[in-house]
Amino acid sequence: MSQGSSSPSPFRDGFAALRHEPALLAAELTWRWCFGLSAWGLGIISIALFLDSLRVAPVDAFLLRTLQPRLLDNALRHIFRGSLSRFVLEQTVLLLGVMVLWSLAATAGRAATLHRLVAMFSTDEEPQLMEWGFAPIFLLQLLRVMWTMIAVAVAFVLFFYGVVMAQNGHPMRAALALSAGLGVPFLAIVLNWFFGIAPLFCIRNGAEAMEALEQAVDFAARQAGRLFLLAVGFLALRLVLAGTMCLALLSPLSWISRIGGRWTMLLMIVVALTYFAGADLLYLARLGGYVSLVEDDSHPAPMIEPAATPPDPNQPPEVLPMVGLA
């Protein structure tokens, strides 16, 4: 598909890449869902082991069966006394492990996907051997997930601080904190986009992590208009998909009296998985659009000079000035 970048629309090129190579979507779903299942499994197992390590006295069990809010609060305080720090430490270690696991999975999956997409859209007559760039891509993915966690933590702290300041009668501090808390997610989305597209330059140009980020910033500056239109197009499709799947997710609730709760839950799970698969398809198509746009940016169409108009035979021939004659 080396001629794919001849199409004037990166939006259409992204979906054309998926039609040309359906295995790309299968590979994307495989590594994403395997990571998701692994992360959920580790989280459930860690919580189950922690709860299994707690000791519930007969008095606490009796208080829990009363279902009285005040008695439940006393029982839970007694059960979790001294174990909260251990739970936080366990979840912190688990979170760090999941971050590293995500970075490894995303490195392998993204390198394989981009390697194939770049080969499909390459316009070089003699394509050079592309590097896999596992080390720089792993560093970019690790920085990406670390920055996401930091941004979420900062936004949560600022929001909590703003609420406390509002309750204590400090409206100016509350407004500043809440405004900053709303700005952090926007900054996180922007930087997350650059971290997400930088591996493309690691694969295509063999760049290191920081160099790939610089190339991603330069590319975004040159193609800001087309990137904006591409983002708007995929955002519209994502909203349509989310709205449709939301209606499909709630519709089985009306059948719960006919098919039972278990079948209703199964249908809702199927709808949710369909949405996740559709979201991954759109992301992969958008990535193909980025690859096509990078190729267009690297090999711009040559300027076509207007053809020279032939001289009018009715006009007299042009007389050149006589220069240098005595």
d(C-alpha 108, C-alpha 111), whole Å: 5
pLDDT at position 76 over 90: no
Residue 198, pLDDT > 50, answer: yes
Tell whether the model's pLDDT for residue 239 goes beyond 90.
yes
State the pLDDT at residue 182: 81
Look at residue 312 and tell me whether its pLDDT is greater than 60: no
pLDDT higher than threshold 90 for residue 215 = yes
**pLDDT at residue 247 greater than cutoff 60:** yes
- Is 27's pLDDT higher than 70? yes
Most confident of 112-126, 168-182, 234-248, 306-320: 234-248
Q: Where are the alpha helices (DSSP H) in 206-260?
A: 209-222, 224-250, 256-259
Report the C-alpha gap between 220 and 294 in whole angstroms. 10
DSSP state of 302: P
Confidence of residue 55 (pLDDT cuts 50, 70, 90): confident
Say if residue 2's pLDDT is above 50.
no
pLDDT at 282: 94
Higher pLDDT, 4 or 14: 14
What integer pLDDT is reported at residue 128 of this predicted model? 58
Cβ neighbours around 204 below 10 Å, total: 25
User: Structure pTM?
Assistant: 0.79
pLDDT tens across 264-299, in order? 888 888 888 999 999 999 999 999 999 999 988 876
The span from the CA of 98 to the CA of 91, in Å, is: 10
pLDDT at 265: 86
Per-residue pLDDT at 45: 92
Burial classification of residue 14, based on how many CB atoms lie within 10 Å of its CB (0-12 exposed, 13-18 middle, 19 or more buried): buried
Rounded average pLDDT over 228-242 = 93
CB 320 within 8 A of CB 41: no
Query: Over 70: is that where the pLDDT of 305 sits?
Result: no
pLDDT digits over 143-190, tens only?
999 988 888 888 889 888 888 888 888 888 888 888 888 888 888 888
Q: Nearest-CA neighbor of 24 among 275, 284, 289, 293?
A: 284
Residue 132 CB contacts under 8 Å (≥ 6 apart), including other chains = 111, 115, 203
